[in-house]
Each structure stands twice: as C-alpha cells, then as structure tokens.
Structure 1
Amino acid sequence: MDLGLKGKSVLVSAASKGLGKATALEYAREGAIVTIASRNFEQLQQTAEEIKRITGQAVTCAEMDITRAEDVENAVSTAVSAGGGLDVLVYNAGGPPAGMFDQFDDAQWQKAFELNLLSAVRMIRASLPHMRAKGAGRIITLTSSSIKQPINGLILSNTIRTGVYGLTKSLAAELANDQILVNTVAPGRIETDRILELDAFSANRQGISVEELQSQSFRQIPVGRYGTPEEFARAVVFLGSFANTYITGQALLVDGGMVKGL
C-alpha cells in the first residue's frame, strides 16, 4: 500500500527515544521529510543519525521543551522550513509522574496540565495554518489506554490524557472541512523506558518483584506479551498518512487486546 507520505513534511515531538523515535523512523522509511523535537538535543541528534543510517533519509532536529510556547513555535517553524510546509503532526509528550490522588498538590496538577494538555493545544494551534495552506493535513495525538480504562496509580495521566482525547475528538469535527483528519493512538503495555518505570513503581507499591508484576501483566494481555515500539509506530503512521482518507475522531488502542471494554 502506498501511504502517500513520500516528500511529505512530518513533525514528531518527544522523538529522541521510545514511541516518538519509533514513529519518526517509520515515517522516514516511507520517504517523508521528518523533523524530530525533544528537550535533549544531544540524544535527538543521535536519533537523527540512527534514522539516517537505517533509512538513508536525513532528519532535522529541533530542540524543544514542550511546556514552553516559544519552543513549540520554533519546532513547528523548523519543520516548515525543512519540509516546505507541514503535512503531518504527531503530538507526543512524556507522561506525568505515577502516584495516587492524595500525593499531588495544585502545582503538580498544573504541571501535568501544561505537560500533557496545554502543550497539545499549542502544537496543534501552531501547525494548523501550515496544514490549511497545504489544503490538507493529518494530526495524531499519542495518549494512553487510560482514555478507555483508568490505570491504577496514574491519577494524573488518567485525567489529563482523557482531556487530550476530548480535544482530538472535538478537532476532528472542527477541521474536517479543511481536509485535516485528527485521531489519537493509545498505547497499552508497549516496552519502553516509561513502561519499565511504571512497572517498577507498581511492583514497589504491591511489594513484589518487577518480574512477578510483568508476569501478571502478560496474563492480562490476550497476546501474552508487551508490544514493541515498532508495532505501535506502524499503527500511527497509517492513521497519520494520506492513505487514510476517511478515519477521523477515533481512538485506536494498540494494546494486544488488553482493554476489555466495548
């Protein structure tokens, strides 16, 4: 299948590692002009070099603290300059800390809001004029399976990620006439540094080993294992491509069948 991505300008945030990195790599494989953004510029450059080595596609780097409005604007401008406009935005951000409701004060709630919701608003706002100028676009927000089934010990993520999905769903209706499709892709248990950190937190809270906790997790996933970043990225790239011409406002869970709700 031709995904219609060759020569398209793509911006992926939080792309120095994990799901963002895997997604940027898959876009580069499809011949897109990829810009990656992250706070850690040294790691970002290493990722760009790795992607070029694998795909032969040059990748542009933009240093960005996603909670800083000026950094967001600069990252979008960098992608526009590199790709002659902007066709695809993949919004990704690191998750807020794990913990229970009583552990967090107003400042921590505000920080989570700025990290995982206001940053999405800003990135999309900065990207839209360039997509409208092109006459079409694709926006993917990366969220979490918690948008369908809250995860114990992740009160901040459960609340804020659901807000990102609400934004996604609303924008899908608002932007359809602009030929801009907006979807969210929600990872379940995908083997990244973030999941390993959360497993360590949960294991400590339950007083068991990480290995035992992961064994329990595997039994809750019909596929019987954690997913890989590459498996997740392939789903993102299809929805955020021009082969997708009619799917918008949807949440695709990449979770190996873990979430049982209809």
Structure 2
Amino acid sequence: MDLGLKGKSVLVLASSKGLGKAIAQEFVREGARVMITSRDALALQTVAREMREVSGEVQAQPCDITKLTDIKELVEKTVSAFGTIDILVNNCGGPRAGNFDDLDDQAWQEAFELTLLSYIRSIREVLPYMRKNGGGKIVNIASISIKQPLDRLLLSNTLRAGVNGLSKSLSQELAKDNILINTVGPGKFATDRVIEIDQQQAERKKMTIEDLQNAAQAAIPLGRYGDPQEFAKTVVFLASDANTYITGQALIVDGGLTKAL
C-alpha cells in the first residue's frame, strides 16, 4: 500500500525518544520531511543525525511544549524549512503519577499545560497552513486511560480524556476543511516512561522490577510489551493518504490489554 507520504511535511512533538521518536522514524522511512523536537537540544541533534542516515529530510528544533512562544517558533521553523505543514502529531511525556491526595494545584496546572494545553496550542498554530493546503491530518497521542483509568495516574486519567474530547469535538468542526483528527492511546510499550513507572510500582509493592514486568506482560493477551515501531505504524497510517474516512476516533493499541468496550 502506498501511504502517499513522500514529500509530506510532518511535525512530531516530543520526538527525541520513546514513542515520539519511533513515530518520527516511521515517517522518515516513508519519505516524509520531518521536524522533530524536544527540550533536550543535545539529544535532539543526536536523533536527527540518526534519522538523516535514512533520509536527508529531517530538521530539529528545541521546544518546551508548555510554552506558547516555543510552539509558535517551532511551527514557524517547520514552515520555513518545508514550506507548509501537512501532518501534526501531538505527543508529550506523561504527567507525574499520584493519587488525589498527592496532587496540589501546581501539579494539576503543570499537567494541564503539558498534556492538554500544548495540544490545543499546536493545533491552533498549524490550522492556517492545513486550511490553505485544502486539508491535513492531526493525530493526538494519549493513553489507554481514555478507555480505562489507570491506578495512581489520576492526572493522566483526567487530562488524556480531555485530549480525546478535544479530538472528537474538532473532528466535527474541521471536517469541512478536509482535516482529519484522531486520538491514539498506547498501552504498555517498551519505552523509558513505562520502565520508570514499572520501577516506581515495583518499589511501592516491594517487588523486583522483573517480577512486576512478568506479571504485567502476563496480563496482556499477546503476552508482551509492544515494540514502539508497532505503535508508530498505526499513527503513520492514520496520518497518511491511505486514511480518507477515519476521523474523530479513539484507537487503542495495547495488545488486547484494555477490557473496556
């Protein structure tokens, strides 16, 4: 299947590691022109060099996605480099773990700015270019918590649901502009973020991380954590020309872990 991504201009947020990096790499493999971004400028340049070995069409711009000025500059730099933006993939690191009594106003505000407001701002900045192009694709990365809340991840459970609501609402507003927008929720993938959460849970439960991960994988019908590239392929399909009629949907990629309908 030809995904029609060759030469397309793609902006992937939080793309120096984890699922964001895997998504950017997959776009590069498909011949797209990709802007990657991260707060860690040094790590970003290293990743950019790796990707350029596959394709020369990779640019890197440091960005703190909790800052509006940084997002504006990121979009401007992407347009300056590629002429436009055809595809936006919103991604971010997860907010801090904790139950309700663990979280003060500052924790809620920081999580809101990272997990939801950054997506709102980036969408606002890219829409003029997509409308000028006659269409575009937006994929918002969330979590399986949009279908089934996760223990001790109250901030994520709350704000990822907001991301899903944003996508669903905008799918109605943006359809007339031929802009398709969807949410994708990852389950357990072998990333630094998942390992960090596993380590915290293992310490809290007084278990070894190996025992905890074995138990976690046993709960997944496919019996393993996912490979980030498996997730990336789903995102890239939704953002490609092969997707012409899927919008406003929340797709879970989790090896069957989530039991909610």
- Where on the TM-score scale, by shorter chain, does this alignment land: which range? over 0.9
CA distance in 2, matches of 1:95, 1:80: 28
CA contact (8 A) 1:37 1:63 kept: yes
Q: C-alpha offsets along residues 129-172 of structure 1, whole Å, 9 cap, x if unaligned?
A: 01001001000000000110001010111111111111011111
Give yes or no for the alignment of 1:95 onto 2:114: no
Structure 1 equivalent of residue 134 of structure 2? 135
Aligned to 2:79, the other structure's residue is in SS state helix
Structure 2 equivalent of residue 41 of structure 1? 41
CA contact (8 A) 2:32 2:57 kept: no
The count of residues paired between Structure 1 and Structure 2 equals: 261
Question: Once structures 1 and 2 are overlaid, which stretch shifts more, 65-74 or 197-206?
Answer: 197-206
How far off its partner does 1:243 sit? Answer: 1.1
- Unaligned regions of 5+ residues in structure 2, if any? none
Q: State the percentage of identical aligned residues.
A: 56
CA distance in 1, matches of 2:149, 2:246: 25
Structure 1 equivalent of residue 2 of structure 2? 2
Give yes or no for the alignment of 1:51 onto 2:46: no
- Unaligned regions of 5+ residues in structure 1, if any? none
Q: C-alpha offsets along residues 22-47 of structure 1, whole Å, 9 cap, x if unaligned?
A: 10010011111100111111111111
Structure 2 equivalent of residue 75 of structure 1? 74
How far off its partner does 1:84 sit? Answer: 1.2
* Structure 1 moving runs of 4+ over 3 Å: none
Structure 2 equivalent of residue 261 of structure 1? 260
How far off its partner does 1:58 sit? Answer: 2.9
Q: Letter of the 2:257 partner, please give it.
A: M
CA distance in 1, matches of 2:20, 2:217: 24
How far off its partner does 1:116 sit? Answer: 0.5
Aligned-residue RMSD, C-alpha: 0.8
How far off its partner does 1:209 sit? Answer: 1.2
Question: TM-score, structure 1 length as denominator?
Answer: 0.98
Give yes or no for the alignment of 1:84 onto 2:83: yes
Structure 2 equivalent of residue 155 of structure 1? 154
How far off its partner does 1:56 sit? Answer: 2.5
Give yes or no for the alignment of 1:17 onto 2:27: no
